[in-house]
Structure 1
Amino acid sequence: MPFAHVTRARTPGARVVSATLATLTIALATLAAPVHAQSTPWTVTTPAPAGFDRALAQRASQAHLTALIGLNTQNPPGNELLTARYFDSVFAAVPGVERHVLPVANGRANFVARLKATNPTKRPVLVMGHMDVVGVDSTKWKTNPFAATIVQEGDVSYLYGRGAIDDKGMLSTAVAALQQLALKRDQLDRDVIFMATAAEEGGPEVGIDEMVSTHFALIKDAEFALNEGGRVRVSDGMVKSVNIQTTEKVSYNVVAKATGQSGHASVPLAGNVLAALARAVSRVHEWKAPVMLNETTRLYFARLARIEQDPAMKAAMLRVSVPGASAVQINAAAKVLSREPLHNAVLRTGQSLTLLNGGIRSNVIPSEGSATFNVRVLPTDDITRTVAQFNRVGGESQVVFTLDGTPRTSPPVSPVSTALYQAMEQAATAMVPTTTVIPFMSTGATDGAALRAKGIPTYGILPMPLPMVDELRMHGDNERVPVAALGWAAEFLYRTLERVTAR
């Protein structure tokens, strides 16, 4: 049965994709199947799902990621059309897939493919990721950031390249999983939609916003979605936890502006605006918003306590998550937890000073200065109240804090009762019976918020198991992924999608 897809003219970009596909074909034929024989955090000792080829999933994931890293989609300018065409060419070889390359402008595009179940009886599941990557300072990389490079370090082989984690690793392993899932589409009870978006890393709203406003008909029937955002955390040589994102903070910028008298630097002024700005900014930096817990964060700390090694932290996690805990008990526990920056960010709305501006010359006292705080607001918090608190805490008559933009409604939290969340939990424990699955509130922002706002429960997972040392390389220099983690991720996604779609 033929399926519709967007027709494209042959362009230099298309030739790049053709060359990349040729490279992919060679890579799939030559990559060694097992990356390591010895046990590692990425060695799955439980039986593979029936019909799932682990060696093929490893080879395909690595080959797709190699190809995608070679397509430079730094944002700006993005150039996601190159990657959209790559996906279009890959899925053209998969029977039963409807494909859409959706150009926006200036080399930018989104992509949607739908794997058609033979006789669907349920609404589709959507799996998604973004094609753009943040920019690089190549002088600080040990490898070419836009040429996937394998580096052996001790017992671990790493694949270096921009996007290896965020978010081309996710896209590559999802495609590898779908290629195998497509072989049994006559056994599926729902379609699987694959969506790759532009501009997730900022800039013009040509990605998920474009999909929701212009092409929503292609995805609106999805019952739920799987996106980036959560974490599979490796510690002490084990996959300790699988953190599934069910909600996220809302990002705002708050600008502090200081005004006053200018003058010659040879005559010091008591009302120096930069000094007033520095005092106000320092106070706001030190201030902590009140603790606010929700269903996700309570369960997060309760599950995290199962694997926490520090006795004081473990006890605080249990106290903060107990039903009916008083404000006094919660605040006492939060004081202990807040020693760890990530726990502190989960407990409350948080602000980070990101920009300071003021002055024109070293011998001139300026008449104004400004500072910007990036504020990540809890889904249940109020940004206008936070700005009012900044002005109170700042305590300088010359300095006023104002919101850049307008308040937005937080999208609903995705429940842990859906078939997709349960499939993710079951997939994790089937692969690693000793792991702990934890619902997770992201302190960052993802495309998932736009889908939650449209009524599609969306769950985040970065499916490659990573130790913290590698997780922290996201957006940084020398981004890398353990090669064997790719096969693990493809199997996790395959298991999840098979469980939620199998008859």
Structure 2
Amino acid sequence: MTPDGRTSTDAPTGAPSAAEAEVVRLAQELIRIDTSNYGDGSGPGERAAAEHVMGLLQEVGLDPELIESEPGRANVVVRLEGEDRSRPALVLHGHTDVVPAEAKDWKVDPFAGEEFDGMVWGRGAVDMKGMDAMILSVVRQMVREGRKPARDVVVAMFADEEAGGKFGARYLVDQRPELFEGATEAVSEVGGFSVDVDGRRAYLLQTAEKGIAWLRLIADGTAGHGSAVNADNAVTELAGAIARIGAYQWDTRLTPTVLSLLEGVADLTGLPLDVDDPLAIDRLIGALGPARRFVGSSIRTLANPTQLHAGYKTNVIPGRATATVDVRPLPGDHEAVLAKVRELAGPHVRVEPEHLDIGLEVPATGALVDTMTDVLREQDPEAVVLPYMLSAGTDNKSLARLGIHGYGFAPLRLPADLDFTALFHGVDERVPTDSLRFGVRVLDGLLRQA
């Protein structure tokens, strides 16, 4: 039972809180501001969304700061004074940019923020304007009611997360580190959502994320006529490199986070866990349903070729061929993985980094994790909380440069039949409205208690 007498499947009794009443509207408003990030500077930027966030915070009497790293690339930061200012601060952060969307592929306009079938639809509903709306609605309610969080909370809405954070979190960490003074922990996206495991509802708390190495491969050869013998063909060299990298089977390695997750799934399902048996590991991952997409990528490094460029005419052998590879190393394996990619590329193909970032693994136990578990169980008493590793990355990578431990905790109680992980960067991205209201209640509890 929850403190107000509800069970885990009951709707809230009485009138909804102010935050619950407005979270859907705030999510819709943010989705309707196109902040598509193409990664090359050609998008609309985040300024309009940042100004909207500023207005929402100023409306309740806060004094946030808008910080542009470049024209149009805007971030918003405000610090809430906590009840106990002697404790380390908590960073509660979101990002306002989204990946692009092809409207012709969607059932709805991806930037209309429509609500129907109990869902808010649109680019960013999941990643991560829904969570942004949850954060803003909870903060607005707390300020209006004159309540303080348990400790200082730095609320940040970053630009550019979808392209590595150069104009967002990374910029503020490097140029304005004083904004995060005293902070030791952070909470943000891609964790805290529920999955069905053998009929039990489990919430995946993100305590780790893989590294990033976006690499460019370059092969130089001798240009010439397509009809002539050419033993120095750049395309041939590059194609061989790409084939070797794409086909390479990286070793399985279970980090502490992943091992803890699999142990939890084994307890829930009764399936055996044998760390030396790939089939046993696969069965446990499969028990997570659609979430296996994320978890299945967390047991080994992955390197996926993504782009190829060469030549300009069929009968001309080009002097250069290039490709890109998206490499996601396990935490701690970064240098060894880069060395292996260079070996696979071969002596005639250069490997140059486009973007590098670290992998993370933070403690899956401790006071903050206990509090996140407690506030989830206040709203869902049967909740099981399991740690997991995100196969992608978040702005917690940038905050780690300041020694801040980052967690993924955007709490959503989801329908068991919703393929939620497919909605990240997917077509017809959407989030249940009830899940947003559930998340508001959990986040409010987190700020009260953490």
Normalising by structure 1, report the TM-score. 0.77
Task: Say if 1:78 and 1:199, in contact at 8 Å, map to a contact too.
Answer: no
Partner of 1:491: 441
* Structure 1 equivalent of residue 289 of structure 2: none
What is the Cα deviation at residue 133 of structure 1? 1.3
Unaligned runs of 5+ in 1: 1-42, 321-328
Tell whether 2:51 aligns with 1:85: yes
Q: CA deviation at 1:99?
A: 2.0
Could you tell me whether the CA contact under 8 Å between 2:159 and 2:165 is conserved in 1? no
Quick check: 1:418 aligned with 2:366? Answer: yes
2:80 to 101, 112, 115: 115
- How far does residue 177 in structure 1 lie from its aligned partner after superposition? 1.9
Contact 1:413 1:452 in 2 (8 A): no
Per-residue CA deviation, residues 165-213 of structure 1 (Å, 9 max, x unaligned), is 1111111011122233335655644222211011111277221122112
Structure 2 match to 1:192: 153
Distance change in 2, residues 1:414/1:204 (3 Å)? closer
Q: Which residue of 2 aligns with 1:326?
A: none
Decide which moves more: 176-185 or 298-307. 176-185
**Is the aligned partner of 1:135 residue 2:89?**
no
Cα 1:438–1:168 shift into 2, 3 Å? same
SS in 2 for 1:104: strand
User: Number of paired residues?
Assistant: 433
Which one-letter code corresponds to 2:274 in the other structure?
R
Asked if residue 472 in structure 1 is aligned to residue 450 in structure 2, the reply is no
Q: Confirm whether residue 60 of structure 1 aligns to residue 8 of structure 2.
A: no
Is the CA contact (8 Å cut-off) linking 1:81 and 1:109 kept in structure 2? yes
Match for 1:441: what amino acid? M
Identity %: 27
Residue equivalent to 1:145:
110
* 1:338–1:158 CA distance, 2 compared to 1 (3 A): closer
Asked whether the 8 Å contact 1:98–1:115 carries over to 2, the reply is no
Residue pair 1:239, 1:432 contacting (<8 A) in 2 also: no
How has the CA–CA distance of structure 1 residues 388 and 211 changed in structure 2, closer, same or farther, with 3 Å as cutoff? Answer: closer
Structure 1 position 53, deviation (Å): 6.1
Q: Specify the code of the residue in structure 1 equivalent to 2:419.
A: V
Between the aligned partners of 2:383 and 2:285, the Cα distance in structure 1 is 25
Distance 2:164 2:211 in 1: 17
Residue 166 of structure 1 aligns with an amino acid whose one-letter code is D
Q: 1:87 Cα shift? A: 2.0
> Superposed, which structure 2 residues align to 1:347-362 within 5 Å?
347-362=299-314
- 2:353 partner amino acid: D
CA contact (8 A) 2:212 2:329 kept: yes
Q: How far did residue 496 of structure 1 move? A: 1.8
Q: Distance in 1 between matches of 2:220 and 2:341?
A: 17
**Which AA in structure 1 matches 2:306?**
T
SS of the residue 2:161 aligns to: coil
- State whether structure 2 residue 341 is matched by structure 1 residue 382: no
Residues in 2 aligned to 1:256 and 1:245: alpha-carbon distance in whole angstroms: 32
**Distance of aligned partners of 1:358 and 1:468 in 2 relative to their CA distance in 1, 3 Å threshold:** farther
Query: Does the aligned pair in 1 maintain the 2:200–2:268 contact within 8 Å?
Result: no
In structure 1, C-alpha distance between the alignment counterparts of 2:225 and 2:81, rounded to whole Å: 72
Per-residue CA deviation, residues 122-157 of structure 1 (Å, 9 max, x unaligned), is 2332211001112222222222222211233xxxx2
Q: Using the alignment, how far apart are the partners of 1:271 and 1:341 within structure 2?
A: 40
- Whichever residue aligns with residue 341 of structure 2, its letter is F
Change (3 A) 1:148 1:444: same
Tell me the CA shift for residue 344 of structure 1: 4.2
Shift of 1:459: 0.7
CA distance in 2, matches of 1:406, 1:482: 34
Aligned to 1:22: none
Picking from 128, 150, 173, the partner of 1:212 is 173
Residue 109 to residue 53, structure 1, CA distance change in 2 (3 Å):
farther
Amino acid at match of 1:462: A
Q: Secondary structure at the match of 1:424?
A: helix
Conserved 8 A contact 1:416-1:422: no
- In structure 2, the gaps of 5 or more residues are 1-6, 287-291
Contact 1:259 1:368 in 2 (8 A): yes
Pairwise CA RMSD of aligned residues? 3.2
Post-superposition shift, 1:265? 3.2
Q: Could you give the per-residue CA deviations for residues 427-459 of structure 1, whole angstroms, max 9, x where no partner exists?
A: 223322333211122111110011122111111
Whole-angstrom distance in 1 between the partners of 2:49 and 2:69: 14
Deviation at 1:406, TM superposition (A): 8.4
Residue in structure 2 matched with residue 173 of structure 1 by the alignment = 134
- Specify the alignment match of 1:106 in structure 2: 71
CA-CA distance at 1:98 after TM superposition: 3.8
Q: Indicate the residue corresponding to 1:437 in structure 2.
A: 385
Distance 1:119 1:194 in 2: 17
